[in-house]
Amino acid sequence: MNTLFWFRRDLRLFNNDALYQAIENGCRNAVFFITEKQWQKHDVAAIQLDLLKRRLHFLGELLASKGIQLHIIDAADYAGCVEKLASFCEQHQVKNVYANNEYELNEVNRDKAFLQHADSNGIAFYAYDGDVIAPPGSIKNQSGEMFKVFTPFKNAWLKVYQDTHFYFAEPPQMFEPTEWQPNELLAPDGSSEKWPVDDETLSHVCARFIEEKLATYQDQRDIPSIKGTSGLSPYLALGIVSVHQLLALIQQRHPDVLRSSKSNLFCWVNELIWREFYRHLIAIYPNLNKYENFNDKYNAVKWRDDDSDFKAWCEGKTGYPLVDAAMRQLLQTGWMHNRLRMVVASFLTKHLLIDWRKGERFFMQHLIDGDLASNNGGWQWAASTGCDAQPYFRIFNPITQSERFDPDGEFIRKYLPELEKIPAKQIHFPHDYLAKQGKSSSYWPAIVDHKAARERALNAFKV
């Protein structure tokens, strides 16, 4: 009886129950489909595809050492993927196919199409929920529906996790930490070469974060000039690292981490739960996959169609240094600090009153950690159109955000060298200072006044 494993965004051997079950049932072949046309439709960033293909090369060699051949097959889109998988199964007399579920609408429809073929050809298709702790639809409120507020979802999620997962009592011996961090990386021409793809290095990276930085994550995560975040989001997006694996490692080192959701140690776990929250939403509300507002009362908002302002935002030329430095970081590295993602998203949707969908697409086209559920959820949160989003009247002031989270202007100077000599006190909005000094500057004028933009946004959202 021939068994096949179908890799998707679960590019790992470890902590992959679907793969384990396939191997237990005699799996000696695995497939991955290259779907360039589909990826283009999904606006997948070139740097993410480069990381994916590098990981596939590593994974193929690792599987070969275990006696499993990875077949990488070209298929233009998901329709071609189903067709070529059906042909592969016929050619190799496959009777069992194992895979991990993906929850986006096109992926769900792809699997439904293959399941129809499998049912009519005597092929058993086994799908696992390897990308989440709790499968979408399994966490419900007292009315039997999906939670629409994060905190009660989190509380219910924690109960599910604590009831169903092994609770570690003793920390194991950890790997020796490595110095690798993502914040310094440049990504010329869409290359991901600075991001490691081998399991040994990634184990070191995980260990270093949990050993040295988890305790200070809550205090340092919002400061873009320091390396206070994990840098693991690209690996979660491609399933190179699993949320199960990370939570197990955290509990091994900090057995009490889940007992208090108010502790510093819990702060990063909270971010992992937000990731699950958005995955549940994208599965349960398919219209989110079609870029519709979760909160349809905001369908009445009249977005501005201003190509000039959008171009300035994309290029980091808004005249607000923190916004511009953040966009430069994205363009130069393929990654952006999480606090800055909120700042630039708020600026686009509130200060410029430009549709969140345009920003969401731009992010997907450039982020190495692009992920539909998290990206959609984050953008709709910032735009106040999403599930448990920030209120429409909460509008980030990019100047005070800069003063608070980059007080000395260290991050700004790194990505805006033209402001290198501006004093720290004035760097957050240098235009008045430059004018008073009578200095010419290559730094562009602000494209919008904060106070006027705020009033405009409030009036637009009151509709």
Residue 280 belongs to some domain of the structure: yes
* Same-domain check for residues 160 and 256: yes
Q: Look at residue 142 and tell me if it is in a domain.
A: no
Based on the domain organization, do 260 and 389 belong to the same domain?
Answer: no
User: Are residues 305 and 439 both part of a single domain?
Assistant: yes
C-alpha dist (Å) from residue 222 to 5, 142, 236, 324, 338:
40, 35, 20, 17, 7
For the stretch 436-458, pLDDT in tens is 887 667 799 999 999 999 999 99
The CA distance from 393 to 119, in Å, is: 52
Q: Which of 157, 195, 268, 379 is catalytic?
A: 379
277 & 299 share domain = no
- Residue 338 is among the residues annotated as catalytic for this protein: yes
pLDDT at position 13: 96
pLDDT range class, residue 170, cuts 50, 70, 90: very low
The verdict on whether 271 is a catalytic residue reads yes
User: Rounded to 5 degrees, what are φ and ψ at 395?
Assistant: -120, 115
Catalytic, 356? Answer: yes
Q: Indicate whether 163 and 54 sit together in one domain.
A: no
Q: What percent of the chain has pLDDT over 70?
A: 94
Whether residue 136 is contained in a domain is answered as no
**Among 75, 312, 304, 54, which Cα is nearest to 194's?**
54
Please identify which of the residues 15, 29, 109, 338 carries the catalytic annotation.
338
Query: Do 323 and 342 fall into the same domain?
Result: yes
Q: Of these residues, 303, 397, 403, 410, which one is catalytic?
A: 303
Regarding whether 397 and 269 lie in a shared domain, the answer is no
Residues 171 and 122 in one domain: no
Which pLDDT score, from 0 to 100, does residue 177 have? 38
Domain C-terminal end among 257, 284, 311:
284
**In terms of domains, do 114 and 156 share one?**
no
Q: Is residue 357 part of a domain?
A: yes
Q: How many domains does the chain have?
A: 3
Considering 232, 264, 284, which residue would you say is the last residue of a domain?
284
| Other residues' Cβ atoms within 10 Å of the Cβ of residue 252 | 17
What number of CA atoms fall less than 13 Å from residue 324's CA on the CB side?
27
Confidence of residue 264 (pLDDT cuts 50, 70, 90): confident
226 with 297, same domain: the answer is no
Residue 391 is predicted with a pLDDT of 95
Residue 171 has pLDDT above 70, yes or no: no
Let me know: does 147 contact 139? Beta carbons within 8 Å: yes
What CATH number is attached to the domain comprising 116?
3.40.50.620
Residue 135 lies inside a defined structural domain of this protein:
no
pLDDT digits (tens, 9 = 90+) for 301-330: 999 999 999 999 999 999 999 999 999 999
Domain limits for position 191: 150-284
Q: How far is CA 221 from CA 161, 229, 242, 371, in A?
A: 25, 6, 21, 20
Q: Is residue 145 part of a domain?
A: no
Question: What does DSSP say about strands 2-6 and 69-74: parallel, antiparallel, or unpaired?
Answer: unpaired
- pLDDT for position 376: 98
Q: Which of 83, 211, 271, 410 is catalytic?
A: 271
Nearest in space to 269 (alpha carbons), one of 217, 318, 317: 217
What confidence tens digit (pLDDT) does each residue in 370-417 have?
999 999 999 999 999 999 999 999 999 999 999 999 999 999 999 999
**Is the distance from CB of 429 to CB of 320 less than 8 angstroms?**
yes
Residue 141 lies in a domain: no
State the CATH number of the domain containing residue 445: 1.10.579.10
Annotated catalytic residue, options 157, 356, 375, 376: 356
Look at residues 228, 253, 284 and tell me which one is the last residue of a structural domain. Answer: 284
- Asked whether 10 and 130 are in contact (CB, 8 A), the reply is yes
Catalytic residue among 268, 274, 313, 381: 274
Do both 178 and 237 map to the same domain?
A: yes
Say which CATH number the domain at 264 has: 1.25.40.80
Q: Is 109 a catalytic residue?
A: no
Tell me the whole-structure pTM to 2 decimals: 0.94
Is 137 within a domain?
A: no
**Structural tokens at position 197:** 């793809």
- Say if residue 278 is in the same domain as residue 302: no
